[in-house]
Amino acid sequence: MDPTKYKRNIIKSTILIGLIDIISLELSRYLLQIPPSLWYYLIAMIVILIQQVSSFLLIDYIWKKKERPKKEYQINDYLTLKLEHKATTIYVEGKPFLQCKFLLLNIPFDKVRDFDDIDSIDEAAEMLNHDLEFQNKIKTKIPTETEFWAHCSNLQVWAEYNYNPRLLHSNLAYPLLKAITDAGDPIAKEVFKQETRLRFESFNFSTQQYLLENGYLNYFNKEERKELFKLILDVNIWINCGYNYLDANKKRKALESFLHARNINPINLDALLGIAQVYVRIKEYDRALQIYNEILEYYPENLKALNGKDLLKSK
């Protein structure tokens, strides 16, 4: 706030309180029927003066506390850190993203040589987690402001090196990359896509299914998605996604998932049943009947298929 305006507000507030005090004293004198005298007004002025000084100091304290600037550090157009209520909060495009509870990694000077062969922050963190002696020695609480500037330094370096995933713990880097990508940072988007691709290439069942179901592949174009789909070798990933989409009444996505599963295994029973269920829900009964006939051809002994066909005929 402008200092002149600040002083003006203090003076106005103090005068207003003074006028209220005078009116209150006169009203009290009138109600108590106290006759006016020199001593009365002298004591009244002393009381008012004390109240005015107290009011001025109180208002000054309140205004200063209200206008006290928060520590803030802007990394770039998308990323800002603020020290609020003794905690560091990461903001993405002006919106709170995450409150940092502690430093993800703080390597002491006497341990630096132990990390010469470490390729990433994740590896360093894993090494520290296994070092029980080191963990037991972490007793000293880092001052709030020191921790704030440490967070600022970590994220500044991370951003300056084009969001290099090796420089920030993956627990923070990956979701933060997604948020900055959503905010419109083209550099972050390329790194985020690269990290998503690496996770897909891990061929981990749960990871691939999670990325698929939660829309992480929507950041890729059609051709890029086709290439990623080739990495899904487990038919159950597509089947699980399909039924989850079906439960959420996302019929188109469910059908796409079941068809992908069928591409991997053309006669997979769960995939065929899923396709048939979608066709029934979207009222394409001829296609559903065709799929049920295929099921009966491949699995004539399957009662679920027979029940499904009977159900279809009754509609």
- 11-46 burial by CB neighbour count: b if 16+ within 10 A, else e? eebbeebbeebeeebeeeeeeeeeeeeeeeeeebee
- The residue ranking higher by pLDDT, 129 or 86, is 86
* pLDDT in the model for residue 40: 62
* pLDDT in the model for residue 107: 43
* pLDDT in the model for residue 235: 92
Helix-strand-coil split of the chain, %, nearest 5 = 70, 5, 25
* pLDDT in the model for residue 142: 74
pLDDT tens digits for 58-95?
A: 666 665 555 455 689 999 999 999 998 888 999 999 99
Q: How far apart are CA 287 and CA 275, in angstroms?
A: 9
pLDDT tens digits for 220-279?
A: 999 999 899 988 989 999 999 999 999 999 999 999 999 999 999 999 999 999 999 999
CATH of 203-315, one of 3.40.50.10860, 3.40.50.2300, 1.10.10.10, 1.25.40.10: 1.25.40.10
Q: How far apart are CA 244 and CA 257, in angstroms?
A: 10
Reading the block at residue 40, the tokens are 């009365």
- The residue ranking higher by pLDDT, 45 or 160, is 160
Other CB atoms closer than 10 Å to residue 313's CB: what's the count? Answer: 10
What are the boundaries of each domain within the chain? 3-67, 69-200, 203-315
Q: How far apart are CA 203 and CA 230, in angstroms?
A: 11
Residue 24 · residue 2 · CB < 8 Å: no
User: At which residue do the structure tokens 């209520």 appear?
Assistant: 85
pTM of the model: 0.62
Close Cβ partners of 274 (under 8 Å, ≥ 6 residues apart): 239, 242, 243, 246, 254, 257, 258, 261
Residue 260 · residue 239 · CB < 8 Å: no
Residue 116 · residue 42 · CB < 8 Å: no
- The residue ranking higher by pLDDT, 108 or 178, is 178
Q: How far apart are CA 17 and CA 11, in angstroms?
A: 10
User: At which residue do the structure tokens 């089947």 appear?
Assistant: 239
Residue 179 · residue 92 · CB < 8 Å: yes
Residue 105 · residue 125 · CB < 8 Å: yes
Confidence of residue 109 (pLDDT cuts 50, 70, 90): very low
